[in-house]
Amino acid sequence: MRTNPDPRSEKSVSRREVIQRGTLAAAGVVAAASQLNPIAYAAQSAKADEDALAREKAAHDEKAKEKAKDKPKIRSVIQIFLWGGMSHNDTWDPKPGTGYEYLGEFDRVIPTNVDAIQLTSLFPMLARVADKYSIIRSMTHGNNGHETAAYLMQTGHKPGGNLSYPSVGAIFTYFRRNEYKGLIPPYIVMLQAAGRFSEEGFLGPAYKPFATGGDPNAQRFEVQGIVNRGINDTRQQARRQLLQKLNLLGYGAADAAEMAAVEEAKERAYELIMGEGREVFNLDNESKEMRDRYGRNTFGQECLVARRLVQAGVPYITISFPGGWDTHANHFATMRRQCPMLDQGLATLIADLQERGLLDTTLVWCTGEFGRTPKVDWAPPWNGGRHHFGAVFSVLVAGGGFRGGRVLGSSDEKAEKVKERPVYPADLLGTFYLLAGIDSHTKLPHPLGLDAYVLDAENEGMPSAGLLEELI
């Protein structure tokens, strides 16, 4: 007669118990190893973490490359550079409930047309088009210096090395050099360059941005070198005709061989100054309603000019926000003045590009070199200011192959540290290059023949968590 086996016997042990015993045994071995040789154990643990991060990065990169295959390539980029660094928890990464010492005057958040995204109440127009852009809330590099942080964000390279790398704008210009044949310079900055470093880097003056100067919200947008201040078109034409007559004295026919190249260059220059090239900057070509829609202020009209430059095929346009965001003092007053302009201009630009069928091939990205300290400094002389903060901040991306209505990564409960999915400068710019069809491993021409690549984070010891496949 068979009897039931003893539940404590080896044959009756369940599969779950076997796994539990094995796990406990392994844990005991690990614990014993850590007690016997804590230094070796710590090194092994760190190596395991590094290997896991490397595998995760590789997975992100492979997924991004696969997803990018079917995307239209980026043709133009509009970078809105909030130089000085805009506060992230006052804008696109609000932290309701953290109290007056963190929130200050901006304690109210508003919903957007995407359920998962909230913004502060300063951005009602961006709230209505949240389905057209994504927000990265875990941007990080840990650098709190204006110059070095700007260099990181606009080159993706480590500052302080032997090489002065070109900015992302110069890189786009370099890779579009054989394709773009427009009269307008391929790399435009409105109104003044504010990169705090040499944007062209070792690529040289041919890739330096053309700074427009002037004010597009003025009665006449006087672009330096294109629209002459105080000289109307009739007088400019008369000057041209007089110069033409004087230049031909002693040279004979205008079509003489030695004059051909000079004449061609001159005609292109005049076409830029007086013809089709200049008309791109002439906002009288836009309706009053369209100009009002963007906002009748300098930043709003810069955004309108940027759209017109995209229509002209210009590869890279930077808008340096007038006034800046370096709000150590007068922070809340500055934010109340500037955020509505940023809200209207940026929201209208994204919507206008979408309506014209240009958003798929135009990347719009908006960021400062870092954020601002989440905790307000109420002590004198700041009296309610926020300081430089590179530990975590936010970036907005729209178009150019990026999906809308998404948030990537997160900061902790007080916006002081990255909580999930860090994004480093090389990850962000590397994704831009991928969507533009630019190989980040391409070697760049250095005047001294030194090895220099579009991006080289690993060899520079720069952190990277992988391309942004979650947003593609």
**What's the pLDDT score for residue 248?**
55
pLDDT of residue 173: 96
Q: Which fold has domain 73-220+283-471?
A: Alkaline Phosphatase, subunit A (3.40.720)
> Could you state, in chain order, the average pLDDT of each consecutive group of 10 residues for the chain (472 residues)?
41 43 47 59 68 89 94 96 97 97 95 96 98 98 97 95 93 96 93 81 94 91 73 61 57 52 52 72 95 98 98 96 95 97 98 98 98 97 97 98 98 98 98 98 95 95 96 98
Q: What's the pLDDT score for residue 22?
A: 47
Q: What is the 3-state secondary structure (H, E, C) of the chain?
A: CCCCCCCCCHHHCCHHHHHHHHHHHHHHHHHHHHHHCHHHHHHHHHHHHHHHHHHHHHHHHHHHHHHHCCCCCCCEEEEEECCCCCCCCCCCCCCCCCCHHHHCCCCCEEECCCCCCEEECCCHHHHCCHHHEEEEEEECCCCCCHHHHHHHHHHCCCCCCCCCCCCHHHHHHHHCCCCCCCCCCCEEEECCCCCCCCCCHHHCHHHCCEECCCCCCCCCCCCCCCCCCCCCHHHHHHHHHHHHHHHHCCCCCCCCHHHHHHHHHHHHHHHHHHCHHHHCCCHHHCCHHHHHHHCCCHHHHHHHHHHHHHHCCCCEEEEECCCCCCCCCCHHHHHHHHHHHHHHHHHHHHHHHHHCCCHHHEEEEEECCCEECCCCECCCCCCCECCEECCCEEEEEEECCCCCCEEECEECCCCCCEEECCECHHHHHHHHHHHHCCCCCCECCCCCCCCCECCCHHHHCCCCCCCCHHHC
Q: Please identify which residue in the block is written with the tokens 């239209």.
A: 72
- Beta-carbon neighbour count of residue 305 at 10 Å? 24
Q: Where along the chain do the CATH 3.40.720 domains lie?
A: 73-220+283-471
Measured in Å, how far apart are the chain's first and last C-alpha atoms? 68
Q: What is the pLDDT of residue 220?
A: 84
